């Protein structure tokens, strides 16, 4: 019986194709099939465009469609369908790479796929290859020390309830707010209330075309780009 293939969950970093680890590049150059998550409305994958320079010219790419919805039933159905697509390839003994922005285990679609695959078959061979996160790359881009000595660093989601965010920011020394595009006006109001607006940097499309770095969030648009994060340094 042929041994099942292995799936690598590969973090391709925030946008710059040079910000992939050597291990990620090696795996991308060896796998039989690449799985790229995309909206069900189109096949475009930002993660795939980042990884493209490191892929074999003839590697097969399979697009996995995910609906942009909050409907739990629709999301679970999509994960089930996509996990079955991946499992079918692994059952043939093929190796695969699932591409994800940043790190595969930090606010990533890979985590959902990993859980679903393990429900289908607890013996599924999986290996996550860590990637450089957007906030580490953003801090490096502007030379900002995220935390040192006894300081705490909060990593949170802009999708969270504003009251929760306010409580978190109140106790943290420094913070990273990912998904800052979602409720930005509420996030900005919270930061202003805590007198942290002038200590916050908004970074959008890091390492991509039209990169934007705003050292004062007062200058930020009401609706920043989807790929936006805020760095708060008290």
- Tell me the pLDDT tens digit for each residue of 183-193: 899 999 999 99
**Rg, the chain, Cα only:** 19
Residues forming beta bridges with residue 126, ordered by sequence position: 7
Task: State mean pLDDT over 202-214.
Answer: 90
The backbone torsions φ and ψ at residue 84, rounded to the nearest 5 degrees and listed phi first, read -70, -35
Per-residue tokens: 130: 């860590």
Q: What is the rounded CA–CA span in Å between residue 171 and residue 148?
A: 16
The more confidently predicted of residues 182 and 228 is 228
Q: How far apart are CA 17 and CA 6, in angstroms?
A: 24
pTM > 0.85: yes
CATH number of this structure's domain 134-233, picked from the four choices 3.40.640.10, 3.30.950.10, 3.40.50.300, 2.60.120.10: 3.30.950.10
HEC secondary structure over the chain: CCCCCEEEEEECECCCCCCCCHHHHHHHCCCCEEEEEEECCCCCCHHHHHHHHHCCCCCEEEEEEECCCCCHHHHHHHHHHHHHHHHHHHHCCCCEEEEECECCCCCCHHHHHHHHHHHHCCCCEEEEECCCCHHHHHHHHHCCCCCCCCCCEEEEECCCCHHHHHHHHHHCCEEEEECCCCCHHHHHHHHHHCCCHHHEEEEECCCCCCCEEECCHHHCCCCCCCCEEEEEEC
- Average pLDDT for 161-176: 93
Q: What local confidence, expressed as pLDDT, does residue 65 receive?
A: 85
- Tell whether the model's pLDDT for residue 216 goes beyond 90: no
User: What's the fold here for domain 6-129?
Assistant: Cobalt-precorrin-4 Transmethylase; domain 1 (3.40.1010)
Does 210 or 174 have the greater pLDDT score? 174
Judged against a pLDDT cut of 80, whether residue 4 lies above it is answered with yes
Burial class (CB in 10 A: 0-12, 13-18, 19+), 152: exposed
Q: Does residue 40 surpass a pLDDT of 70?
A: no
Alpha-carbon span 26 to 21, nearest angstrom: 9
CA distance 140 to 136: 6
Name residues whose C-beta falls within 8 Å of residue 126's C-beta, 6 or more positions apart in sequence: 6, 7, 9, 114, 117, 118
The tokens for 138 are: 């953003």
Which residue did the predictor score with more confidence, 69 or 211? 211
The residue extents of the domains of the chain are 6-129, 134-233
Displacement of CA 117 from its chain's centroid (Å): 19
Token reading at 117: 């695959």
Q: Is the pLDDT of residue 71 over 90?
A: no
- Which is it for strands 60-66 and 96-100: parallel, antiparallel or unpaired? unpaired
């Amino acid at each position: 019986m042929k041994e099942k293939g292995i799936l690598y969950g590969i973090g391709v970093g925030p946008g710059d194709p040079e910000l992939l680890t050597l291990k990620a590049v090696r795996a991308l150059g060896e796998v039989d099939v690449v799985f790229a998550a995309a909206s069900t409305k189109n096949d475009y994958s930002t993660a795939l465009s980042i990884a493209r320079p490191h892929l074999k010219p003839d590697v097969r790419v399979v697009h996995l469609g995910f609906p942009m919805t909050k409907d739990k039933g629709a999301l679970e159905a999509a994960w089930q369908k996509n996990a079955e697509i991946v499992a079918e390839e692994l059952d043939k003994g093929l190796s695969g790479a699932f591409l994800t922005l940043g790190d595969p285990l930090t606010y990533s679609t890979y985590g959902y796929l990993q859980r679903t695959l393990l429900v289908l078959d607890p013996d599924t061979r999986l290996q996550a290859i860590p990637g450089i996160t957007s906030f580490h790359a953003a801090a490096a881009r502007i030379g900002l020390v995220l935390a040192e000595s006894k300081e705490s660093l909060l990593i949170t989601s802009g999708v969270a309830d504003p009251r929760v965010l306010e409580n978190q920011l109140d106790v943290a020394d420094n913070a990273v707010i990912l998904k800052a595009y979602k409720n930005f006006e509420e996030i900005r109001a919270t930061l202003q209330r805590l007198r942290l607006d002038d200590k916050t940097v908004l970074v959008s499309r890091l390492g991509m075309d039209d990169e934007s770095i705003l050292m004062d969030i007062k200058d930020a648009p009401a609706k920043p780009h989807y790929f936006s994060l805020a760095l708060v340094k008290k």
